Structure 1
Amino acid sequence: MRLTTKGRYAVTAMLDLAINADTAPISLGDIARRQDISLAYLEQLFARLRRAGLVNSVRGPGGGYLLAQAPGAICVSSIVDAVDESVDATRCQGLSDCQQGDTCLTHHLWCELSGQIRRFLDAVTLEQLSARPDIQHIARRQQVRVDDAILASAP
């Protein structure tokens, strides 16, 4: 399985949005500060998330992003898919040509693992994640850290 930074950051940013966008749009700058992700990278990810219908953008002062669907309707697998990530555990990308064009001994094992991973990610929603006490604790800590940094930089 190869879930890269792109997939991890997309899920992290979407979870941040689910936690923090109660009524008003959230700027990518706010997400970038809380999650320590490059703003330019977030812009690329959110363009893909918007095209996939997972977020809506709001322009102008006070603009930013909102979830396009209820957090309970957005599963982690849809976020991963939106940024073109793969959760395939095979070396052959499921093509069965792992060993000089033939299926290797463990191909079916890795295909089954890929299926298990997919089912797990299909079953986990942003709503479920944002309700977890450990995630709520981390989100509060991140917000305090950002707030403290803003206060420290004020004249």
Structure 2
Amino acid sequence: TLSSTGEVALLGGESEAIPLKKISDYEDISLKYLEQIFSQLKKNNIVESIRGITGGYILSRPPADITIKEIVYAMDGPVKPVDCVETDGCVKSDICSINWFWQGLKENVDGYFENITLKNLINKG
């Protein structure tokens, strides 16, 4: 989700690992919920976990190299305003009179997310 992008952005200005407890306290978000988010982000190589007393999470790459699209896809999968934008989403997509509209919306959203990096969000925040 886009809200999880904010949690990831918190890591962007840090050179050392940040414990989830610190993010939980700062953002007033359940630690259990953050564990689920960061598990997905780790699985998708957006963050790395560091063990030990000074452990926590750190970005796997510089913020300028992580797109919002990567984060959204890691959390929710591909953006699809309606199911029929996927080729197997609707049996009538080839004859649908407005499929072009939904496909265009998906492509525009994907392009927008692809062109914004985590660094962009950090700098604007």
TM-score by length of 2: 0.88
Matches of 1:36 and 1:115 in 2, distance apart? 34
Equivalence for 1:70: 62
List runs of 5+ in structure 1 lacking aligned partners. Answer: 1-6, 136-155
Matches of 1:125 and 1:52 in 2, distance apart? 16
Equivalence for 1:147: none
Equivalence for 2:7: 13
Please report how far the alpha carbon of residue 65 of structure 1 lies from its aligned counterpart in structure 2 after TM superposition.
Answer: 0.6
Matches of 1:72 and 1:97 in 2, distance apart? 34
1:1-150 mapped onto 2 (5 Å cutoff): 7-19=1-13, 21=14, 23-95=15-87, 98=90, 101-103=91-93, 104-132=96-124, 135=125
Q: Aligned to 1:33, what secondary structure does the other structure show?
A: helix
Matches of 1:108 and 1:66 in 2, distance apart? 40
Asked if structure 1 preserves the Cα contact closer than 8 Å seen for 2:85 and 2:99, the reply is no
CA-atom RMSD in angstroms: 1.7
Matches of 2:49 and 2:72 in 1, distance apart? 19
Query: Equivalent pairs: percent with the same residue?
Result: 30
Q: Rg bigger for which structure?
A: 1
Larger displacement relative to structure 2 (54-63 or 84-93): 84-93
Q: Aligned to 1:56, what secondary structure does the other structure show?
A: strand
Please report how far the alpha carbon of residue 29 of structure 1 lies from its aligned counterpart in structure 2 after TM superposition.
Answer: 1.1
List runs of 5+ in structure 2 lacking aligned partners. Answer: none
Matches of 1:97 and 1:61 in 2, distance apart? 47
Q: Aligned to 2:61, what secondary structure does the other structure show?
A: coil
Asked if structure 2 preserves the Cα contact closer than 8 Å seen for 1:90 and 1:107, the reply is no
Q: Which runs of 4+ in 1 moved over 6 A?
A: none
Paired residues, number: 123
Please report how far the alpha carbon of residue 96 of structure 1 lies from its aligned counterpart in structure 2 after TM superposition.
Answer: 6.6
TM-score by length of 1: 0.72
